[in-house]
Amino acid sequence: MGSVVGKLFGGTDTSSQQAQISANREARQFIESQAGQARADAQSLFPVAQQNRNLGFQSALDVFGQTIPGQIDAFQQGNVGAQASLLAGLPQFQNAIFGLPTNLSGLQPQRLDVNTQFAQQQLPQFQQPQPAPAIQPQAGFNLSQFLAGRGG
C-alpha cells in the first residue's frame, strides 16, 4: 500500500533536505573562510604590538637609567655635606672643651640640589598597525538567503 500512495502523490520529496544540507555546507565553508581571515588579521597585528611593547619597556629602562645617577648624586652630596658639618663643628667642640667661646653659626642646614629632569618623560611614539583589508564574503554564498532559510 505504501508504494501505491507514493505513486499517487509523486514519492518522497527530499528537496528541502538537500537544500538544507547544501546551505549547511556553504555556511561551514563561509565560517572556515572568515575564521582564517580573522586569524590572519590578528597575526598581522603581532609584530606591531611587539614593537610597541619594546618601546614601552625601553622608555621604562630610560627612566631607571636617569633616576639612578640622580639618586647616587643626592646620596653623595648628603654624605659630603654631613662630613663637612662634622669638620666645621670640630673646632667648636674643641673650644667648648677648653672653655673658649663657641660659634655654632657654621653648623647650618644645607640644601642639596637634585636634578628632577628625569621625571619629565613622554610616552614613545607607538607604531600604528596597517588597516586590515575589508572582509569580503565568500563568492557564491548569500548570507541573507542562508539566514532567511533558517527562519532568522
Alpha carbon distance 70, 20 (integer Å): 74
- Predicted confidence (pLDDT) at residue 146 exceeds the cutoff of 80: no
The pTM of this model reads 0.44
Q: Which residue has the cell 640622580?
A: 70
pLDDT category at 152 given cuts 50, 70, 90 is very low
The answer to whether 92 and 104 are in contact (CB under 8 A) is: yes
∠ CA(70), CA(109), CA(76), 5° rounding? 25
The answer to whether 37 and 135 are in contact (CB under 8 A) is: yes
Nearest Cα residue to 67 out of 118, 112, 114: 118
- Predicted confidence (pLDDT) at residue 88 exceeds the cutoff of 90: no
Q: How many residues does the chain have?
A: 152
Q: Which of 58-62, 115-119, 137-141 is predicted least confidently?
A: 137-141
Q: pLDDT value at position 144?
A: 65
Q: pLDDT value at position 3?
A: 56
